[in-house]
Amino acid sequence: MASLRSLPWDSLEKYSGTLGLRNLGILLVTGFIFIKVIELAHSLHYHSRRARELGCRHPQRIRPNRLPLGVDSVIRMMKADNHHQVPEELHKIYLEQGNAIKEGVVNTWKESKFGVSHYVTVEPRNIQAILATQFNDFEVGRRRFNVSTPLLGKGIFILDGKGWETARTLLRPQFARSLVSDLDLEERHVQSLFNQLSMPGSDGWTKVADIKPLFFNLTLDTATEFLFGESLHSQLQTSSTDLNKSPVRHGYDLRCVAEAIDTGLHDMAVRIRLGELYWLYNPKSWRESIRLCHGFTDTYIQLLLDKGQEANNSEGGGERGTKYVFLNELAKSTQDAMQLRSQTLAVLMAGRDTTASLLCWIFWMLARHPAVLKRLRQCVHESFGACSEPNITFESLKSCKYLQYVINETNRTCTILPFNVRVAAKDTSLPLGGGPDGTYPLYIKKGAEVQFWPSITHTREDIWGPDAKEFNPDRWEGRKPGFEFLPFLAGPRICLGQQLALTEAAYVVVRFLQRFDQIESTDKSWERFHHLTVTDAPMELPLRFHDAGM
């Protein structure tokens, strides 16, 4: 055996140096891959063990992709959006999952887009777990915060954990029943809406008009008066023939502020749909809407804070004297200007579109169901009297059963929030969705998204009967729904403004049916076309009304 001294060390050193220069990259890449393989193996082993501990099985159904990274699914939904048919496309996807297996029913499945897996469920027990019984296992997630915070700040709808709890505690008292039943406020703005309708002709009919923008103006005006004590009067601006004479308040053109709210909601919806690529969408319109919405809101906040303790101890402010003003009452609990802006904008953005969309779909349905309209109008006449002498209270609106049935059935068949999403805050499970028949728990690892589609849950035939897709208010007779009916979500994060929205919608319906006895649509088709932003509304609502007194 040769001694160590006899080896050609100079040659070996030269060779090893050359080897390092040539192959260092390969060695590093190989090492990186090796480490990742080890990490992947460890992760698979860990999550497999955790799934067994939780009694979980593999997903009943994994939705396949035809193109790499699920690009085909993305393109499919983009096409549906362009054709204004997203809820219908969701229903097709749901049916496809059941048709693909022998059992024929799949209510929870796994799919992937851009290489990231997530889950979809339309199962009430799973939704109950997400929203209520396993509430702490799920959160709205960082992405929603990043998408929306430029406009909404740290509003309640995009917060998790302690931040959400603080906001909830701050806002809950502002939605007490006594504070959300200001029907005098509603009446003023309903009359402004009526003034936008044409006078009935000799046959008693108004001219055909797109009622959708009138409903959105109505809810914007009531929301801003509720929040700030002063309305934007967007209904009056719409009818103005002189675009150069838009009213100005506190240095802000009110027409521009109203348009900024619309634009902000639209652009935020686009960012939400882009998912992790939301940051690519940052147009000038988005930035300008943020500037106007923040500036307008900050003006009211600064005026309030400048008044100091005297304003905080009053019952209201501005034009409304001693009446309730949301912002003034909120300032009694916090003097943080950013907190005041965030929560006020959150309530404005959420409340305005939710109620307007519901009203649009109610009248869309009434125009296509004359028998329902006739019966509802009879109930309105018996419960609330004539148009000139209405007898309407919060309690009487709630106790008018058929009116509530119509509102519920509209919320069921025309879901205002067709889909939603939560993110697992820790390794957890859903009660159903695993195993060959979907009856075993389904493992959800930390960070995984779970989408739930109320629009599908609301129309499942095994829950609602073979006529689930039909509009039938009578199905609500004696029915007390659970998590199969989620117009305002449920659990700790249930919508605080639920009663405000339902009261406003009911009041508007009653006042319309006291004044008009027939509603006709120029669109005779039953095909729905959706204007889907954060909420879902019809693309347009061309209607005419027949005066009940003619």
Q: What confidence tens digit (pLDDT) does each residue in 104-128 have? A: 789 999 998 887 889 999 999 999 9
- Reduced to 3 states, what is the DSSP secondary structure of residue 278? helix
Q: Which residues lie closer than 8 Å to 437 by C-beta, 6 or more apart?
A: 60, 103
- Domain spanning 53-152+418-486, CATH class: alpha beta
Q: Considering the domain delimited by 153-417+487-547, tell me its CATH architecture.
A: Orthogonal Bundle (1.10)
Domain residue ranges of the chain, discontinuous segments joined by +: 53-152+418-486, 153-417+487-547
**Percent with pLDDT over 90 in the chain:** 63
Per-position DSSP letters for 9-32, written without gaps between them: HHHHHHHHHHHHHHHHHHHHHHHH
Going by pLDDT thresholds of 50, 70 and 90, the confidence category of residue 313 is: low
Detail the residues annotated as belonging to a binding site: 495
In sequence order, the β-bridge partners of residue 179 are none
Q: How far is CA 328 from CA 176, 189, 322, 408, 490, in A?
A: 15, 22, 11, 33, 28
Distance of alpha carbon 148 from alpha carbon 518, whole angstroms: 41
CA 122 from chain center: how many Å?
A: 17
Detail the residues annotated as belonging to a binding site for heme: 495
CA 392 from chain center: how many Å?
A: 30
Distance of alpha carbon 157 from alpha carbon 383, whole angstroms: 37
Least confident piece of the model among 82-96, 227-241, 370-384: 227-241
For Cα atoms 124, 133, 409, give the angle at the middle one, nearest 5 degrees.
35
pLDDT at site 306:
83
Give pLDDT tens digits for 252-286: 878 888 899 999 999 998 898 888 889 999 999 99
Number of neighbouring beta carbons within 10 Å of residue 80: 19
